[in-house]
Amino acid sequence: MAKSKVLVVGGTGYIGRRIVKASLDQGHTTYVLQRSEIGLDIEKLHLLLSFKKQGAHLVQGSFSDQQSLVEAVKKVDVVICTMSGVHFKSHNILMQLKLVDAIKEAGNVKRFLPSEFGMDPATMEHALAPGRETFDQKMIVRKAIEDAKIPFTYVSANCFAGYFVGSLCQLETLTPPKDKVRLYGDGNVKVVFMDEDDVATYAIKAIDDPRTLNKTLYLRPPENILTQRQLVEIWEKLCGKKLEKISIPGEDFLASMKGMDYVAQAGMGHFYHIFYEGCLTNFEIGEEASDLYPEVKYTRMDEYLKIFL
């Protein structure tokens, strides 16, 4: 079977650039939307040109020009959107509704992967404000996709290693603490950590797979289901040093959110659901990526942490 042609929207972003690489690596004809809105952002332009050197096709389009989106979509079989959905960057989830309209009008798309790649929003109806905005908006996009009868795959990738693993899940840093580590509660809640390159690899594997059609693909490989305490212990073993552990009770964590700005409260709310409630692992799942694609040698977190030594 011929490999699907892929359009990546948001290809210069944190996950988007990895999706582009994975698509090319797996032999797909790959298009990347070049939005006129980049203006004088030279770094984005250079990244787009680097994709072109690797064999990707750049296609002009703008969210302020609906017909340009339709024409871009008509070139491909699969559309993958990776526009930012985190408050400390840009929060553009609902812009995807224009893309949904374009896909509906074009009428040729065999699979759409919207910008998800985190927690499963269908399980987060109880989420704390203001962070729940992310999940509510993702569900609005899902409803639009399903109402338009667009074939889809939702990818639930849990915690990106770049943001969670290097810091041992500490807030406001991306590298391991030197002496002390804060544990959320007793640090024994199960969490799922994913190398971002693996997220992209699994996502591209799914686009031509009938087993993932109109389903959520969960990235929950068994060796990457770890507690925060286990992650700290892995780091201690690697660096040969014990860290002082400070436990933060859930009520103290929630109380510390008061008075913080909107962005900080949103992020901390997500941390609370992950590390106190166990929202990534407290429900049964359907399709799991490492079972569907055992040929992918996913990165374990001891291997990931070695770069910080």
| Residues acting as catalytic residues | 138
Q: Are 92 and 141 contacting, i.e. CB atoms less than 8 angstroms apart?
A: no
CA-nearest of 14, 62, 65 to 38 is 62
> How many other CB atoms sit within 10 Å of the CB of residue 177?
15
Strands 225-227 and 190-194: antiparallel
CA-nearest of 166, 216, 173, 175 to 195 is 166
As separate numbers, helices (DSSP H) first and strands (DSSP E) second, the chain gives 12, 13
> How many other CB atoms sit within 10 Å of the CB of residue 53?
7
Between CA 36 and CA 10 the distance in angstroms is 12
CA-nearest of 12, 15, 57, 11 to 201 is 15
- Rg of the chain in Å (alpha carbons): 20
Residues 6+ apart with CB under 8 A from 150: 100, 103, 104, 109, 112
What is the residue type of 95? M
Local structure of 74: helix, strand or coil: coil
Q: Kindly report the backbone phi and psi dihedral angles of residue 10, in degrees, each rounded to the nearest multiple of 5, phi listed first.
A: 95, 30
Between CA 53 and CA 47 the distance in angstroms is 10
Do you find a cis peptide bond into 222, omega within 30 degrees of 0?
A: no
